[in-house]
Amino acid sequence: MKLIILDRDGVINQDSDQFIKRPDEWKPIPGSLEAIARLNQAGYRVVVATNQSGVGRGLFDMAMLNDIHAKMHKSVVNAGGRIDAVFYCPHSAEEKCACRKPLPGMYLEIAERYDTALQEVYVVGDSLRDLQAAAAVAALPILVLTGKGEKTEKAGGLPAGTQVFADLATVVDRLLIL
């Protein structure tokens, strides 16, 4: 199965240190929605895995997170694409869950849901923890330089084999000719 896992903030939409707390704060990165549509056209199922500790911290509730994701889904549909599913970790770091990246809990859930191994699956993120979670399940880590990506690259220590691209649109340009 052609499956690709995307982080949300800093990959699909602009990141914010103040958290994305409402739908109007969710703003797509130029080219990202079209990139998702191109992945779909190439036969990829696109799945999102996102840490949303703002829920655990009480900054917004699950209903609001659903509203934000409804906007994301609609925006992708309007660009001609489809996000198959959104997996999220609502916990704060203190809750010590198994799903908050860099732990690979969400990726393992995705593997189970789609009944597929992750060895050939690309994981796109802008933070080290996205890539560490990918490495933990032997998936293929890709760093984008949008969101926190430039800082992440400068800080170094990326998992072996991490590929680095400017943004999601560039990832798709490259993937689709590989």
- φ/ψ of residue 155, rounded to 5: -65, -25
Could you say whether residue 167 binds Mg ion (CB under 5 A)?
A: no
**91 marked as part of a ligand binding site:** yes
Residue window 119-138: x/- pattern of binding to Mg ion, with contact defined by CB under 5 A = -------xx-----------
Residue closer to Zn ion by CB (options 103, 158) is: 103
Work out how close the CB of 139 gets to Zn ion at its nearest, in angstroms, rounded to a whole number: 19
The tokens describing 167, both together, are: 């943004």
Work out how close the CB of 64 gets to Mg ion at its nearest, in angstroms, rounded to a whole number: 19
Of 162, 50, 44, nearest to 105 by C-alpha is: 50
Q: How far is CA 81 from the centre of its chain?
A: 16
Of 147, 137, 51, nearest to 100 by C-alpha is: 51
Helix axes 105-113, 128-136, angle to 10 degrees: 50
Whether 75 and 36 have beta carbons less than 8 Å apart is answered as: no
Out of 8, 69, 71, 100, name the contact with Zn ion by CB under 5 A. 100
Partner whose footprint covers residue 10, from Mg ion, Zn ion, none (CB < 5 to 8 Å by kind): Mg ion
Minimal CB distance residue for Mg ion: 10
Whether 70 and 49 have beta carbons less than 8 Å apart is answered as: no
Residue closer to Mg ion by CB (options 12, 76) is: 12
**89 marked as part of a ligand binding site:** yes
Could you say whether residue 99 binds Zn ion (CB under 5 A)?
A: yes
- Interface with Mg ion (CB under 5 A): 7, 9-10, 126-127
